[in-house]
Structure 1
Amino acid sequence: MSDRRVFRWATTSARVLVGTVVAAASVVGVVTAISIPWPTLTREPVSIEATPAPAASTVSCDGGLLVQARDLDAAGAIEVAAVQTVTSGVLPGAPEPVTAQLAASDVASGLGPLAFTAEPGPSGRTDLAASGSAVAAFDDLVGFAASVCRPPLMESWLVAGSGATGAADFVILTNPGTVAATVQLTVYGASGPQVPPGGADIVVAAGSQRVVSIAGLARGEESPVIRINSRGAPVQAAVQSSISRVLEPGGVDQASAIAASDTTQRILGIVVGDDDDASDGSPTLIRLLSATADAQATVTVRGVGESADAVSPLTVPLVAGVPTELALETLSPGDYILDITATAPVVAAAWHTTGFGAGVDFAWHTPSPEIDVPTLFAVPGGPEATMTLENTGDVEATGTVSRRDGSAIVDFTLRPGESTSFSLTRREVYLLDGGGAPLRAAVTMAAPDQLAAFAVWPADAAAPAVTVFP
């Protein structure tokens, strides 16, 4: 018995010893494996870079100037008071655009604005530009309006117009496509955002335009901002704005939509004329909205070609979902740029008027987006036209503004932050080429009793390559 117990103890002790040695060896092996670099194998995912097939370029215009309630027997009827004259074109050698007149079920004549479609050429998509203008001189509507013809968008913002007494403003929704669009209008006012009954599920048939009175959407709202969301097809949105003071018409304008909110907005080309009358109020107002968060915005004003501020910077708190409007100090005659920076994304626009009495006009100035590709733009007929150009990049911009035939009218060199302005010929299509540097541009058309402005939008003719991961 004693020998068997000794044997069992010995074999057990041997097993424990062997296990200890194996465990120790394992620890040493693991530590060594961690400390010694192991070979690695990296496999890049398979990807294919493909450029989408070029599509047709389509832009639609706002159409003529509208009036309502001229006929007492049909107070709600909307008519065209002044027909819009359009200037359009493509680069030499590109396919000529096809012109179509859209339907307008809300207008008495049933005729809406023009739309232009250019098919792609041998080298890709066709760059297409168009803009229109109209003049009204009636007892109930006076002034000059000019606007750019734009591609439709699925979402956009209208920072213009009013539902207050004296305003007769319209939201204009244009669908130049072949599929119907269903649009929802969200109105941001003093009580925050809401979708009024007249702003829900507006059907804009293919190849047509709808017109909605802002008074029916936001009656009493002095500074509304309207968000456009479309389903089924994109739409091009605009506001026609006009005002009467004690039965005296005080101007008309067509303001284009803003594509998106941003923490930085730049508004170019606010032209203050020698004859502008500021005796009865502030001639320049800024409307701001931070849709989703409380924020603080700072507004600086610089003269074109100047580096110093023209007036002291303005700082204003913004309540989420509630538009804010502030007045600028009276500016001396000249051409100005507004820089707006905010702690949250905002949309913004500026309103400027030539005065507050008889024979005056006003314009809504919307932010200018960055342009870093050669871009066509059109200047319609009307008063003297001025382009304001700013280099918003970090490198020097050297480029040209030329007519379609290639003849340059302006050669420019702008250091970062510099700006300039120069005259343009009306009823002409131009090419802006900044050599790849990011620029912002706007066109202002001004006379003592006429005022209009629009931002220059970058060309979308070159579709970027798309990376596909199978």
Structure 2
Amino acid sequence: MSGIRSGARIALGAALSAGIVAAVALAVPATWPTVTREVQTVTAAPEPSTSRLACGGSTLALGRDIEDVSALQAAGAQRVTVGSTPGTEATSGEIAPADVPDGRPAAAFTAEPQDGARTDLAAAGSTSVDADDLAGFAASACTPPAMESWLIAGSGLTGAADLVVIANPGDVASRVALTVYGATGETTPDAGADILVPAGSQRVVPLAALALGEQSPVVLVSATQAPVQATLQSSITRTLVPGGIDQAGATAAPDTTQTIPAVVGTSDAGVGASVRLLAPSDDTTARLTVTPVGETEPVFEVDGLALVAGVPLEVDVDELPAGRYRVDLEAAAPVVSSLWSATGIGAGSDFAWFAAADAISVPTLFAVAAGPAPRLTLTAEGDADVEVELTAAAGGGVASTVLVPAGGSVTVPVDARSVYLLDARDETIRANITYAGDGAIASYAVAPADAAAAPVVVRPR
């Protein structure tokens, strides 16, 4: 009997197993219902912030007080031109020169957002000095404070009295470190360590305290707690004769390509130019070309420049006849660069540092400081011509269109003490302002507006 029950259980189990296998076999080709989940995204427009600019301030003289040769004195006040988005107003402020007892405050400007959009703001200043120990013309753009700035200018050799000027236009104190790149590579001098720059104040550090004896220094200004604006004021005296002044702003951030839209050449015999370049992080090779603005064939070209990481290289350029020249640098690793040019080497001469310019792809305001014969130079990138609309920001000026040929450059005159709106219609260009006159030369790059920051797309995980 038990055997019969066992056989029955075995038969029943076999039948159930067969039924399950059959059911699975039938289910395999069947289409199971699926659920598709869309990726959820949220587009968040950053809250517009206050636009803020800081200017380099007055030209400063070092060593005028024989009882305190390290004392700084004001030598020439800066004349500033400022403007903001039409229909808005810029508010003026001051940055106290903590290291210059008799110095005038440097100018600062702010502009509040309007109708939920950040206000574009532009300013630039210039200085003329004619004294026994200091003479020349300088111009610089007033720029937003930054956490990092590259200053490629100046010298630590005898005859130079160069100064790193650091301004904090904000409401929070900043701590700044100055890293110097020289003949032995990257160094962190004691004079450049942990510099406290209180809110609304300006600090000045002599370049000789950072890079004494360095012929081609590069200074990296790094800030914590709050961003700062940095410039490098340079001057030179040759056998007791002043040979010019300059106020150099930060150059474009490290990149594999760098462009200086225009440098000013002179026709004086014996006066050349030199390009200073640095690969901050990696050994690399570079190609340098100098091309007359409006033309396509270089007048100076060198390929295979070997750059050792952290060590600046100075390249002498053939004498450049009077005119404006575009400078292009291409490298296999990120580099920074600028060019030095002078009107002469005797009494009444002047010099300038020409910084590489950042790319501009949004409508941008720029200011033209007072000075001799200012010109705007535009360069285009890519394979297509670029139409740039140029409009005087004040007075309802009529827009003019400047055609920049593909991969080329063009220069146009602009009015001193004026503000313009530059619109490349979503194409990418670079631009700078240059000045050239009798014993006067200067330049500064046009910085792209950040008022048109793109919305942020957030994708929750």
CA distance in 2, matches of 1:242, 1:427: 25
Moved more, 293-302 or 327-336: 327-336
CA distance in 1, matches of 2:106, 2:65: 23
Contact 2:255 2:334 in 1 (8 A): yes
Contact 2:152 2:337 in 1 (8 A): yes
Structure 2 residue matching 1:114: 3-state secondary structure: strand
Q: 1:315 aligns with which of 304, 307, 310?
A: 304
1:139 equivalenced with 2:129 (yes/no):
no
Matched with 1:438 is 428
Give the direction of change, closer, same or farther, for the CA distance of 1:47–1:433 in structure 2 (3 Å limit): same
Matched with 2:204 is 211
Could you tell me which runs of 5 or more consecutive residues in structure 2 were left unpaired when the two chains were aligned. 4-10
Matched with 1:177 is 170
Measure how far apart 1:50 and its partner are. 1.1
In the alignment, residue 122 of structure 1 is paired with which amino acid? D
CA distance in 2, matches of 1:42, 1:458: 43
**Count of residue pairs brought into register by the alignment:** 455
1:291 equivalenced with 2:280 (yes/no):
yes
1:352 equivalenced with 2:341 (yes/no):
yes
Q: 2:160 aligns with which of 155, 158, 167?
A: 167
1:258 equivalenced with 2:286 (yes/no):
no
Structure 2 residue matching 1:355: 3-state secondary structure: coil
| Runs of 4+ that moved beyond 6 A | 36-40
1:222 equivalenced with 2:215 (yes/no):
yes
Structure 2 residue matching 1:452: 3-state secondary structure: strand
CA distance in 1, matches of 2:383, 2:426: 12
Matched with 1:85 is 79
Matched with 1:73 is 67
Contact 2:251 2:357 in 1 (8 A): no
Q: Deviations over 1:328-364 (max 9, x none)?
A: 1112322110110001000100111111111110110
Matched with 1:467 is 457
Contact 1:105 1:209 in 2 (8 A): yes
Give the direction of change, closer, same or farther, for the CA distance of 1:44–1:85 in structure 2 (3 Å limit): same
Matched with 1:126 is 119
Q: Deviations over 1:92-149 (max 9, x none)?
A: 211x111111111111225431000011112511111100000011111110000000
In the alignment, residue 47 of structure 2 is paired with which amino acid? A
In the alignment, residue 128 of structure 1 is paired with which amino acid? L
Contact 1:290 1:345 in 2 (8 A): yes
Matched with 1:11 is none
Give the direction of change, closer, same or farther, for the CA distance of 1:41–1:353 in structure 2 (3 Å limit): farther
CA distance in 1, matches of 2:277, 2:35: 54
Q: 1:278 aligns with which of 269, 272, 278?
A: 269
Measure how far apart 1:240 and its partner are. 0.3
Contact 1:278 1:356 in 2 (8 A): no
Give the direction of change, closer, same or farther, for the CA distance of 1:413–1:186 in structure 2 (3 Å limit): same
Matched with 2:7 is none
Q: 2:405 aligns with which of 407, 415, 440?
A: 415
Measure how far apart 1:278 and its partner are. 3.5
CA distance in 2, matches of 1:305, 1:408: 25
CA distance in 1, matches of 2:37, 2:238: 71
Matched with 1:248 is 241
In the alignment, residue 278 of structure 1 is paired with which amino acid? A
Matched with 1:451 is 441
Measure how far apart 1:69 and its partner are. 1.1
Moved more, 446-455 or 308-317: 308-317
CA distance in 2, matches of 1:173, 1:42: 56
CA distance in 1, matches of 2:386, 2:116: 26
Moved more, 208-217 or 302-311: 302-311
Give the direction of change, closer, same or farther, for the CA distance of 1:105–1:411 in structure 2 (3 Å limit): same
Matched with 1:7 is none
Measure how far apart 1:392 and its partner are. 1.3
Contact 1:396 1:437 in 2 (8 A): no
Could you tell me which runs of 5 or more consecutive residues in structure 1 were left unpaired when the two chains were aligned. 5-13
Moved more, 416-425 or 393-402: 393-402
Measure how far apart 1:42 and its partner are. 4.6
Measure how far apart 1:77 and its partner are. 0.8
Contact 1:393 1:439 in 2 (8 A): no
CA distance in 2, matches of 1:291, 1:437: 29
In the alignment, residue 274 of structure 2 is paired with which amino acid? L
In the alignment, residue 158 of structure 1 is paired with which amino acid? L
Q: 1:45 aligns with which of 39, 44, 47?
A: 39
In the alignment, residue 82 of structure 1 is paired with which amino acid? G
1:400 equivalenced with 2:393 (yes/no):
no
Contact 2:73 2:103 in 1 (8 A): no
Contact 2:74 2:103 in 1 (8 A): no
Contact 1:301 1:313 in 2 (8 A): no
In the alignment, residue 419 of structure 1 is paired with which amino acid? S
Measure how far apart 1:406 and its partner are. 3.9
Give the direction of change, closer, same or farther, for the CA distance of 1:322–1:40 in structure 2 (3 Å limit): farther
Measure how far apart 1:170 and its partner are. 0.5
CA distance in 2, matches of 1:137, 1:39: 86
CA distance in 2, matches of 1:414, 1:250: 36
Structure 2 residue matching 1:305: 3-state secondary structure: coil
CA distance in 2, matches of 1:356, 1:87: 30
Give % identity.
47
Measure how far apart 1:463 and its partner are. 2.8
Matched with 1:10 is none
Matches within 5 A, 1:232-247: 232-247=225-240
Contact 2:77 2:104 in 1 (8 A): no
CA distance in 1, matches of 2:385, 2:70: 54
Contact 2:287 2:301 in 1 (8 A): no
Contact 1:297 1:341 in 2 (8 A): yes
Contact 1:57 1:127 in 2 (8 A): yes
Give the direction of change, closer, same or farther, for the CA distance of 1:422–1:48 in structure 2 (3 Å limit): same
CA distance in 2, matches of 1:398, 1:123: 29
Measure how far apart 1:168 and its partner are. 0.4
Give the direction of change, closer, same or farther, for the CA distance of 1:248–1:101 in structure 2 (3 Å limit): same
Q: 2:292 aligns with which of 263, 280, 303?
A: 303
Contact 1:393 1:437 in 2 (8 A): no
Measure how far apart 1:414 and its partner are. 2.6
Measure how far apart 1:161 and its partner are. 1.0
Moved more, 327-336 or 54-63: 327-336
In the alignment, residue 40 of structure 2 is paired with which amino acid? V
